[in-house]
Amino acid sequence: MTKSSPRSLDGSFSLISPRRIPRAEHNVSRSMISSGTLKTLYTLKDAGYEAYMVGGGVRDLLAGLEPKDFDVATNAHPEQVKPLFRSCRLVGRRFVICHVRFGDEIVETTTFRGAITDLHKRDETGRILSDNVYGTLAEDAIRRDFTVNALYYDIRDYSIVDFTTGIEDMRAGVIRLIGDPELRYREDPVRMLRAIRIANKLHFRIDDATAAPIARLASLLREIPAARLFDEVLKLLLSKEAEDNLYGLRVYGLFRQLFPVLDPLLSKPDNLQFVNAALRNTAQRMVAGQAVSPSFLYASLLWPAVEARAAQLRLEQGCEPFIAIQQAGEEVIARTISHVAIPKRFSLPMRDIWDLQPRFEQTTATRARRLMTHPKFRAAYDFLLVRAQSSGNAALLELATWWTEAQKGGDLPPAPELPADDVFATASEAPRKRRRRRGGRNRRGPAVAGEAAPTLAGGDGVDDGDDTDDDGDAGPDGNAPRAADAS
């Protein structure tokens, strides 16, 4: 590691005098800070190091919000931090950080970063590739992305240290980049996504100069690893502000860089209405303290593309609805993961949710009861409800109502009548020719009339790929999710 000289982000050298806001002039209290963060701050201070709470924790507390987590910045190097705590893990290659654990809480502790210089390794677009440089508190401040994220809570006197215009921008409700916006976006294009997310979370506006280059530089997102964009999309759309975030992504041309397979389809009001309804459903569950799942989010987000491709396959190749949905799902996921990664532990449940949609139209008693035992039935049922409620389609609403009543136990309600031109309308209700069994003398006896043929787990002879559900949404039996965990 090296130590650099102070340098501002426009290339000129400068020292910055901090402004201190005393405890009497701000609302951040130690009672609002997690116990693990306080222990980290005091341990570093008592060991003779500088220690500050910084970033989103300070920002959210000033805005009257409850932070999801807290970060600490210090002049202690990682190898100096590690011996001070019984449970401390060093992570990262670009820049080593310390994860200090207190029970379930992890306090991310970083050494002050040095100023950006011409020595930093970059790619052809200007993105920084190597960042192993330590610095001072002032240098760390101007290295941060937005002014509202460059506020430091000093545990020594409980003041807030501001090297930029962070306090003024908090009071004015403005998201402003530190330094030249185009240069900062080129250093890390994900900042464009963060600008939208933080602005909507705080109900702030994006400064004109900060917003101006976004649409022009949106294509820089292609340089970001797909796995990192998966996390960023979750932060944007698995949130209470998901609808506003989607709108912002589309306005600035960022959404088409993330989901080119879906973006043109959202110009159709029905598709946009469905996606917004799913995002609203997720937001409502979060407000109610219920569990939400990335599988349900991505299944909802990509459904218009899956539905459109399935309709095309049925028209061009005459595929049965179930086959069309399966093939369409595989194609859409394959086209998506080159831009935004979707881990298998989420993509497999997504496919289950999609694959079960045409099976909801099979309302005979045997098939219906079998479907209700499927591990992903609750998630697929919730998905059906969103489809029905967002579309206002009478037949789909009647079908959703039928399945709601069917789950109450007892005799199943009369089967709803589905229009012949429904996207999933099938000929499955017509008698099918029974396949001739092979195997000579060792074959089983002839099937009894009305007896269902043996199937794999999940029903209808389809391997649901859900024997080991590792997506973290499993219910008490290890497979079936609770109703609250379905989405």
**DSSP label at residue 153:** E
Query: Which amino acid, 409?
Result: G
**Which amino acid belongs to residue 436?**
R
Phi–psi pair at 387, nearest 5 degrees: -55, -45
Tokens linked to 358: 């045409």
Q: How far is CA 292 from the centre of its chain?
A: 10
> Which helix H or strand E contains 324, and what residues bound it?
helix 321-336
CA distances to 43, 50, 107, 108, 310 from 99, rounded to whole Å, are 14, 17, 6, 5, 46
- Locate 485 and state its tokens: 């965990």
Q: How far is CA 199 from the centre of its chain?
A: 17
195 and 202 Cβ atoms separated by less than 8 Å: no
Nearest one of 147, 209, 214 to 178, comparing CA atoms:
147
Q: Which tokens hold the place of 398?
A: 């009647």
Distance of CA 375 to the CA centre of its chain: 23
Q: How far apart are CA 162 and CA 139, in angstroms?
A: 12
* Number of neighbours of residue 430 by Cβ within 10 angstroms: 6
CA distance 275 to 242: 10
Question: How many whole angstroms separate alpha carbon 153 and alpha carbon 178?
Answer: 19
Q: What does the buried/exposed string (b/e) look like for 198-235 if buried means 16 or more CB atoms within 10 Å of the residue's CB? A: bbbbbebebbeebbebbeebbebbeebeeeebbebbbe
Q: Give the catalytic positions in this structure.
A: 69, 71, 145
For residue 54, the one-letter residue type is V
Per the CB < 8 A criterion, the answer to whether 62 and 170 are in contact is yes
Q: Which of 81, 117, 116 is nearest to 101 (CA)?
A: 81
